[in-house]
Amino acid sequence: MSAVLIDGKARAAALRRDVAAGVEAFVAAHGRAPGLTVVLVGDDPASAVYVGSKGKATREAGMISGEYRLPAATPEAELLALIAALNADPAVDGILVQMPLPRHIDSDRVIAAIDPAKDVDGLHPVNTGLLVSGRKGLVPCTPSGCLMLIEEAIGTIAGAEALVIGRSILVGKPMAALLLNRSATVTVAHSRTRDLAAHVARADIVVAAVGIPGMVKGEWIKPGACVIDVGINRVALPDGKTRLVGDVDFDGAVKRAGRITPVPGGVGPMTIACLLANTLKAATART
């Protein structure tokens, strides 16, 4: 048996088309395009690439892209003042502060300073609370994208045994809340979990968000399970080149799973698409 591949690239492209159509309707109704402003502090090259591609995707969806690139030594107070100005700017519907921030800045304080109605990363405690209590709010982009892929892959989530590996506030915890809100029976595994293999073997849905290449072994997977691999790990090859791999041993898992996301081309493209969807949602909710 070989699993059906979940095509995150195609799903993300469809979502981006839907967002672009929604933006057109928004412009027609309100005479302005939704705006997403991204703030980058410091010169981490990976973060700079992410910020660049978010800006490009924003413009491609017909929205206004704002960008602030601040020096690494920017005082926290200056960043907080910028966020206050963006909160007050009616043309800005979404604010995203690229993580990680330099060490002298308290990222919790920065996230808490963003207006929850503009918090398109879904990390503000108000949005976290809304998610956990099953009410409407802005949901973190990566787990939101994973949920769409799972829903399309298996249809009904209710009653399924779901295992989320990883408990970060960015991925694992919101993923668990989303699955619980869809009435899955959810287990959350982390670095202190005993016998991860036994948990994986029971799961109809496995979401791996750990950051360790291939740590979920193919032989652990329940036959027919839906496997969502969030991990993005760059590994060195014997020829000196590198390649991206996920947290799941893909070659083993593809033989047992029913559906599986590849890396790259699975969850990754969904994250930016969901950011655009969140920006349109925030703009619509604010009108």
Upstream peptide bond of 100 is cis (omega within 30 degrees of 0): yes
Q: Under rule CB under 6 A, which residues in 201-220 are in contact with ligand NDP?
A: 209-212
Name the residue nearer to ligand NDP (CB basis): 128 or 271.
271
Name the residue nearer to ligand NDP (CB basis): 53 or 183.
53
State yes or no: residue 168 binds ligand NDP (CB under 6 A). yes
Name the residue nearer to ligand NDP (CB basis): 195 or 239.
195
- The residues carrying an active-site annotation are 54, 98, 121
Q: Under rule CB under 6 A, which residues in 225-254 are in contact with ligand NDP?
A: 230-233
Query: Would you tell me how many other CB atoms lie within 10 Å of the CB of residue 78?
Result: 14
Upstream peptide bond of 174 is cis (omega within 30 degrees of 0): no
Distance CA 22, CA 100 (A): 31
Position among 34, 62, 166, 218 found at the interface with ligand NDP (CB under 6 A): 166
Those residues whose C-beta lies under 8 Å from the C-beta of residue 201, and which sit 6 or more positions away, are 220, 221, 222
State yes or no: residue 282 binds ligand NDP (CB under 6 A). no
Six token digits for residue 87: 């909160």
Position among 2, 90, 192, 239 found at the interface with ligand NDP (CB under 6 A): 192
# chain residues binding ligand NDP, by CB under 6 A: 25
173-193 b/e (C-beta count within 10 Å ≥ 16 → b)? bbbbbbbbbbebbbbbbeeee
Position among 156, 191, 242, 287 found at the interface with ligand NDP (CB under 6 A): 191
Those residues whose C-beta lies under 8 Å from the C-beta of residue 174, and which sit 6 or more positions away, are 122, 128, 131, 139, 140, 143, 144
Position among 164, 267, 273, 275 found at the interface with ligand NDP (CB under 6 A): 267
Distance CA 206, CA 199 (A): 9
Name the residue nearer to ligand NDP (CB basis): 233 or 284.
233
Instruction: Tell me the three-class secondary structure of 20-65, residue by residue.
Output: HHHHHHHHHHHCCCCEEEEEEECCCHHHHHHHHHHHHHHHHCCCEE
Those residues whose C-beta lies under 8 Å from the C-beta of residue 24, and which sit 6 or more positions away, are 62
* Smallest distance, ligand NDP to C-beta of residue 141, A: 8
State yes or no: residue 193 binds ligand NDP (CB under 6 A). yes
Position among 97, 165, 179, 276 found at the interface with ligand NDP (CB under 6 A): 165
Name the residue nearer to ligand NDP (CB basis): 65 or 144.
144
Q: Name the residues that contact ligand NDP, by CB under 6 A.
A: 142, 165-168, 170-172, 189-193, 196, 209-212, 230-233, 267-268, 271
